[in-house]
Structure 1
Amino acid sequence: MSLSFHIGFNGQCKEAFEFYAEYLNGTIGTMLEFKDSPVAASVTPEWQHKIVHANIVIEQVELAGGDVNPEQYQKPQGFNILLGVKSESKVKSLFEKFAIGGEVVLPPQKTFFSPCYAIVVDRFGVPWKFSCGK
């Protein structure tokens, strides 16, 4: 059995996965455009270079995603991706990168359960929580 997460993007899947690969040391596996898939005929010419399916592995966890037609896209809600890192400086560094063009929910701070904890919705609409252990 395997468990992964699949996120629908509003036409920004490739950009998001390249961002995650850079800042989370992820390895992109698949990056399949609509034009190269069996469903190519079902999308507009402008959408041919958007991503029908992609996956990235970050610390042995797979994140999958794809671009959703604009009329069907819904901003992710009801969950956060929780990323545990080793240091306060890493929480702050990731938070700074992910907050650019995004929405700050909770800036990095000490909590009763973490020396440094932060919440941000990145510019791709994906909600993240960053935390470090004691």
Structure 2
Amino acid sequence: MQMNPYLIFNGRCEEAFKFYAKCLGGEIVAMIPHRGTPAADHVPPESLDTILHARLVAGGNVLMGSDASPDRYEGTKGFSVSINTEDPSEAERVFHALAENGAVRMPMQETFWAVRFGMLVDQFGIPWMVNCEKPA
């Protein structure tokens, strides 16, 4: 079994995934717009170029997403995408990259469980936690 975050955007999925690929050092392996698919008949004409499905692979992890139709987008609530790394400098790098034009909720810092930990909401409204745990 594998669990993967699936993020829903309000028309900015393609832009977000290009940003995440840069921040996470990943590769976009799927970016499928509604146009040209059977789903095109179920979205308004102005949404044909929004993303039906995106898939990003980074370090053996998978992040997926799509754009919701404007009348169905609800925003993000009740979750964070959590990134865990064993390298404090990599935690710092990823945190600051994702924070570009976003909002830091908890600055990157040492905690009782982590060498580095921070929380942010990126420029696309997605909440993230970046964690580098202390050795056991």
Q: TM-score, normalised by structure 2?
A: 0.90
Shift of 1:2: 2.9
Secondary structure class of the residue paired with 1:35: coil
- Give the conservation status (yes or no) of the 8 Å contact 1:87–1:133: no
Query: For residues 5 and 94 of structure 1, what CA distance do their matches in structure 2 show?
Result: 17
- Give the conservation status (yes or no) of the 8 Å contact 2:20–2:98: no
Deviations 1:33-67 (A, max 9, x none): 01021011222222111101111112222111100
Query: For residues 104 and 5 of structure 1, what CA distance do their matches in structure 2 show?
Result: 21
**Which shows bigger deviation, 85-94 or 18-27?**
85-94
Shift of 1:87: 2.7
Aligned CA RMSD, in angstroms, stands at: 1.4
| Count of residue pairs brought into register by the alignment | 134
Secondary structure class of the residue paired with 1:89: helix
**2:40 corresponding residue in structure 1:** 40
- Residue 120 of structure 2 aligns with an amino acid whose one-letter code is V
Structure 1 spans left out of the alignment, 5+ residues: none
Query: For residues 11 and 60 of structure 1, what CA distance do their matches in structure 2 show?
Result: 27
**2:56 corresponding residue in structure 1:** 56
**2:23 corresponding residue in structure 1:** 23
Structure 2 spans left out of the alignment, 5+ residues: none
Q: TM-score, normalised by structure 1?
A: 0.91
- Residue 100 of structure 1 aligns with an amino acid whose one-letter code is E
